[in-house]
Structure 1
Amino acid sequence: MKRAVALVAGVLAIAGCSTTVTESTTGSTTAAATEGVTKYPLTLDNCGTVESFSGVPKRVVVMNGGSIGEVSSLVALGVADRVVANAQSYGVSDVPGRATAIDALPTGGITPNNQQDIPREAMLAQRPDLVISTGGGGFAADYGYATRADLTAAGANSYAPRANCGITGAVSGTPTIEDSYAMLRDFGTIFDVPSRADKLIAESKRKIAESASHVTGQPKKNVLIVFPGMGMGDSSDFSAIAADGIWNDILGKAGAVNPFARTDGTTFVTLSKEQLAATPIDGLIVVNYRNPDIDAAARRILDQFPQWAATKTKNYAVLSDSIYLGPSNDIAVDKIARLVHPGQF
């Protein structure tokens, strides 16, 4: 649990990279349940590494990194049956049935390392043809992982979302919902289901636009996002406060603002009660990660700040995976918009 914030921070950091895809005009390799649109061999430049796919991946390994955005995207696209070992699990989801679907995926019988991820030899033993990491650090030899060169030599391609290309997590910008869409597009192309990706993205954009239309012109409301009990070495409620991350884009589209937003790559901050008491808070978001009573955690936070507008109206909401990189950001936008602008719905 204490390791979770550091892992999630790695997922959300940006290294200023991009992913470009080039499809060949020859070859017609397709697989069951695909669309027959992607032409193979497929060349993909991902985070500066050129990958070449001879066909639809059939033995996919998904690394942990504190995320479920990658495996959630595979589930949403209907290609999770290609997964032979999944290390991502969050326990809950804002999408009905998704957590159960993820937990039902094979794990490959892997014993994780001290970072709760897949070490090199265990990875290679899975005989993957595609390894998906939450970021460049998942391919770092210094951490005991199989490098992208190791995987290429073993006949496997590798992928990391453009929102976290760098091994060190060096940041050149803040992730946005567009990064979630970019990952869906990449997977849609790789797995030959581009129309499914396009439909998911179009529906997400439609829902976000609808939510945003209700709050257009309304004053921005201060929303505090807290990850109770997830601080590194600190179990207090205020050791993991959202700072720089995709949630700031989500908040903006919901007619809200993060009063503790950062743009320097500091994903989470620790705040004192005095700092929080001095900041007007209109709505509270508590992020649930295997918390036995997340509502009690929300009430405990609110009770400490009776001066907040959020406390006077008991104005809080619980979110889980939709606040992160992944296919379900529209859920977070809608829930936050309704939380802080209820009269507009």
Structure 2
Amino acid sequence: MRLKQLAAAAAAVGCLAATACSTATTSADPTSGAAEAGYPVTITNCGKEYTYTQAPSRVVVMNGGSVAEVSSLLALGLGDKIVANAQSYGASEVPGRADAIAKLPTGDIKLNDMMDIPREAMIGLAPDLVISTYDGGFRAEAGFATREDLATIGANTYSPESTCGDVGTVSGNPSIEDSYRLLRDLGKIFGVSEKAEQIIADSKAKIGDLRSTVSKLPRKKAMLIIPGMAMGSEFSSVGAKAIWNDIMAKAGVDNIFAGASDQMFANPSREQVAKADVELLVVVNYMSKDPAADAKKLFDEFPQWDASRNKSYVVLSDSIYLGPSNDVAVDKIAHVAHPDAL
């Protein structure tokens, strides 16, 4: 992968792991058919209000390295609304999801150096909704169609509220609730709030059952690493502040490097990694040919870890990020961390 692509991918992990805190309000005119379906709907996004008089039917999903947005659309049964999708992660804990994403239309777009959709191509798709992983997807200086450009052709725009600021920054304390907010926003935009609330309820119930068990057990210490994302130093992709901390916490696990940085990645030295009390290794599969081999390599390098002695590791992909399947990650981590109790 070229340097620009790696840089974009590293920023994108922030978008995947960041919060999504948009708020939504609904209003209805009982004299119209649209009102009976819950429209118009107004969404506040990045400080501006966007009104939908009907469900979008020509949706373009920008890349940014995320699959949170396209996965949420698929989970809500909205794949047929997508006319062009640039998001792809190549792996998923949810059976069939990676294949479903791969089968979505791409609009036959030639992507730019950031592996995303440039302005002219975006305008040519004639979308009525453009979803970007981060607000930078609407920056004119990066060659993208701006929110104003898209409004001119009748398209609404949306990105997670927490990524309205600088790319790569992490605001607040990212949590699974942010994934629920994303689902709720999309549910309201497309008139499928009941479906969104059912996904959320199922997720909360599953996580609640797990927490009731693991909360009685000693907490395990973990290190999260994304081997395929490393740039520069060997441990530049060790996880620090992101949604994965809440996911691990609900599985009865503490991220050793959670407080090492206020950014997504801790970038510890080899000596710090060697001294860390790692009882569980969380390997995030990003463009890796063999995540299990990635884990084995680390175990061989650091045989002093309890995780190395017990071969205790879990491989995750999209469920560890913002999106509709955080409960899957909680479940998988909990079962590896507490095998005798679950």
TM over 0.5: yes
Structure-1 residue corresponding to 2:332: 335
TM-score of the pair, normalised by structure 2 = 0.93
Give 3-state SS (helix, strand or coil) of 1:202's partner: helix
Report the aligned-residue RMSD: 1.8
Task: Indicate conservation of the 8 Å contact 2:83/2:107, yes or no.
Answer: yes
Structure-1 residue corresponding to 2:179: 180
1:217 aligns with 2:222: no
1:23 aligns with 2:22: no
1:84 aligns with 2:83: yes
1:275-286 to structure 2, matched below 5 A, reads 275-286=272-283
Structure-1 residue corresponding to 2:14: 9
1:255 aligns with 2:252: yes
Structure-2 residue corresponding to 1:68: 67
Structure-2 residue corresponding to 1:244: 241
Partner amino acid for 1:20?
A
Give 3-state SS (helix, strand or coil) of 1:183's partner: helix
Task: Indicate conservation of the 8 Å contact 1:14/1:169, yes or no.
Answer: no
Alpha carbons of 1:104 and 1:83: their partners in 2 closer, same or farther (altered >3 Å)? Answer: same
Q: Which deviates the most, 214-223 or 296-305? A: 214-223
Task: Indicate conservation of the 8 Å contact 1:6/1:232, yes or no.
Answer: no
Deviations 1:133-159 (CA, angstroms, capped at 9, x unpaired) = 111111111211111111111100001
Partner amino acid for 1:260?
F
> Percent sequence identity over matched residues?
53
Task: Indicate conservation of the 8 Å contact 1:58/1:129, yes or no.
Answer: yes
CA distance in structure 1 between the partners assigned to 2:228 and 2:236 by the alignment:
8
The Cα of 1:45 is off from its aligned counterpart by 1.2
Deviations 1:176-221 (CA, angstroms, capped at 9, x unpaired) = 1000000101111111111110110000001101111110132221
Task: Indicate conservation of the 8 Å contact 2:25/2:42, yes or no.
Answer: yes
Task: Indicate conservation of the 8 Å contact 1:163/1:175, yes or no.
Answer: no
The Cα of 1:167 is off from its aligned counterpart by 4.5
Give 3-state SS (helix, strand or coil) of 1:268's partner: coil
Task: Indicate conservation of the 8 Å contact 1:12/1:164, yes or no.
Answer: no
Structure-2 residue corresponding to 1:94: 93
Structure-2 residue corresponding to 1:120: 119
Give 3-state SS (helix, strand or coil) of 1:213's partner: helix
Give 3-state SS (helix, strand or coil) of 2:148's partner: helix
CA distance in structure 1 between the partners assigned to 2:193 and 2:53 by the alignment:
17
Partner amino acid for 1:22?
T
Partner amino acid for 1:21?
T
Deviations 1:150-174 (CA, angstroms, capped at 9, x unpaired) = 1111100001122322244554312
Task: Indicate conservation of the 8 Å contact 2:281/2:313, yes or no.
Answer: yes
Task: Indicate conservation of the 8 Å contact 1:63/1:87, yes or no.
Answer: yes
Long gaps (5+) in structure 2: none
TM-score of the pair, normalised by structure 1 = 0.93
Give 3-state SS (helix, strand or coil) of 1:224's partner: strand
Structure-1 residue corresponding to 2:286: 289
Give 3-state SS (helix, strand or coil) of 2:98's partner: helix
Long gaps (5+) in structure 1: 31-35
CA distance in structure 1 between the partners assigned to 2:18 and 2:194 by the alignment:
28
CA distance in structure 1 between the partners assigned to 2:215 and 2:93 by the alignment:
25
Number of corresponding residues = 336
The Cα of 1:264 is off from its aligned counterpart by 5.8
Task: Indicate conservation of the 8 Å contact 2:84/2:106, yes or no.
Answer: yes
The Cα of 1:28 is off from its aligned counterpart by 2.2
CA distance in structure 2 between the partners assigned to 1:142 and 1:197 by the alignment:
35
CA distance in structure 2 between the partners assigned to 1:9 and 1:43 by the alignment:
27
The Cα of 1:224 is off from its aligned counterpart by 0.8
Structure-2 residue corresponding to 1:306: 303
CA distance in structure 2 between the partners assigned to 1:292 and 1:183 by the alignment:
31
1:229 aligns with 2:219: no
Structure-1 residue corresponding to 2:269: 272
CA distance in structure 1 between the partners assigned to 2:322 and 2:16 by the alignment:
8
Give 3-state SS (helix, strand or coil) of 1:277's partner: helix
Give 3-state SS (helix, strand or coil) of 1:21's partner: strand
Deviations 1:59-111 (CA, angstroms, capped at 9, x unpaired) = 00000111100000000000111000000000010000000000000000111
CA distance in structure 1 between the partners assigned to 2:309 and 2:168 by the alignment:
39
Deviations 1:271-295 (CA, angstroms, capped at 9, x unpaired) = 2221111110010011112211111
Deviations 1:292-329 (CA, angstroms, capped at 9, x unpaired) = 11111110011111111101110011100000000000
1:163-202 to structure 2, matched below 5 A, reads 163-202=162-201
Runs of 4+ with deviation above 6 angstroms: none
Structure-2 residue corresponding to 1:42: 41
The Cα of 1:19 is off from its aligned counterpart by 2.1
